[in-house]
Structures are given as C-alpha cells and as structure tokens.
Amino acid sequence: MFDSLKISDLTEKQNTILRKGSNTRPTLWVVEEDGIRAVVKDFSTNGFLFRNIAGRFLVWRESKAYRRLKGLKGIPALYRVVDGLALVMEEISGRNVENIERDTRLPNEFFDDLEALVQRVHERGIAHCDLKRAPNTILGRDGSPHVIDWGASISDREFRFFPINIIYRRFLLDDYMAIIKLKLRHCPEAVSSEDMARYNHRSRAERLIRDIRNRLRELLQKIA
C-alpha cells in the first residue's frame, strides 16, 4: 500500500498538513490513495543534520516497534517507510486525548481497554515510554483507545541484562502509571486503592532513578 509514494510527493499542493514540522519535530501529513487515507510522519522537512541523524534513527526505532506490534488492535498498521525518512501508517479516526476532559469524560471501559492494550504490547516485549504525553493516545471514533508514537519505545531484548533490565521493568510500570494519571482525571473513583498507593509511592531510590532518567531524556532531546 502507498508503494509509489515518494518524498517529493509530500507537498502542501498534493496533501493536507496535520501538523507543521519544526526544527526538531517531523511534519505530519494526511495522504490518500485509492480512497484510503494514511498519516505520514515525515522527517524530510527537518534540517540536514537533524534529518539525517535523529530523523533516520527515530524512523528506524519507530518502524522496528511497529513491526513487532503488527496486528494488535489499537496500534495503527505501518504501511511502509519512505527512504528511511518517513513512516506511512494507518490513519486512526478520532482525536487524541490531550485536554479531552474539557469536552468529555472518558468512561471506565476506555481505561480497561487501554490497560488491556498496554498489557498486550508488553507481552510482545515493548514498553512505550512516552504514554504520559496525552497526544500519543487516541480516542477512536468507535470509543476504543489507540496508541501511537513509538519513537521512544524500548524492547525487552535490548534491555535483557542486569542492571538495565531493572530500567526496563521501571518503564513497563511507567506505562501503567501514565494510564492511572489519565484515569485520575476522568474517573478517579475507579482507581483502586492499590493503584493509588503505587501512584503516590515515591521512594527515595525511585526519585533518584527518575531524576537520572529525566536528565538523560533532556540530554537526548537536546542532541535530537
């Protein structure tokens, strides 16, 4: 699908822009072929260095995750990668959940489904690592959750050995913490006391790990 799409076809004349790119962010396009719509996450519009170092790396990381998650309901299908610079994926119709509480309250079932989805992702050996960013979760038109943006995800294979396997487990937990965070905003009464305790638990060691991780993230973001 979208086999003949070229980077040079990604123009405002031919397609709709979903989100304009910036120095460090890709452009998001909606493309259409034979009545099928796809979203293209395109790093070709970034500056030379970012495009060829961070861009290619992020596209490679994200496509790797999509291949491993292939066929999971709630994860968009990856149609193809164009020139190592752009991901062409299934368009999820709906809206992302950022600030969605201003308009609607997500029901408990949404969270049950999201938890089940994240569990299936973890069973495939992938941790998302950026679920706390609400724009990465989409409420589909059918009311079901979808998760996008796998550029920061990590796999169990890469984090197999001690001590980094501990970090991997921490990221798995973090994915669940992100769900609890969103759930607290929409149906706090449905958050179990166990989850609440886990969420509030901030041991000194954990805070230290979080600190180091955040600093690493900031550093990576700066490099990117």
Ligand X SMILES: Nc1ncnc2c1ncn2[C@@H]1O[C@H](COP(=O)(O)OP(=O)(O)OP(=O)(O)O)[C@@H](O)[C@H]1O
Between 111 and 150, how does the x/- string for binding to ligand X read (CB under 6 A)?
----------------------x-xx-----------xx-
Report the C-alpha gap between 49 and 40 in whole angstroms.
Answer: 20
Q: Are residues 139 and 97 in contact, defined by beta-carbon separation less than 8 angstroms?
A: yes
Q: Which stretch binds Mg ion (CB under 5 A): 35-43, 91-99, 145-153, 197-205?
A: 145-153
Report the C-alpha gap between 182 and 119 in whole angstroms.
Answer: 17
How far, CA to CA in Å, does 91 sit from each of 27, 70, 88, 136? Answer: 15, 15, 9, 13
62 touches Mg ion by CB under 5 A: no
69 to 98, contacts with ligand X by CB under 6 A?
76, 89-92, 96
Report the C-alpha gap between 114 and 145 in whole angstroms.
Answer: 6
27 touches Mg ion by CB under 5 A: no
Cβ distance to ligand X smaller for residue 28 or 209? 28
Residues constituting the chain: 224
Interacting residues with Mg ion (CB under 5 A): 136, 149
Interacting residues with ligand X (CB under 6 A): 18-19, 25-26, 28, 39, 41, 76, 89-92, 96, 133, 135-136, 148-149
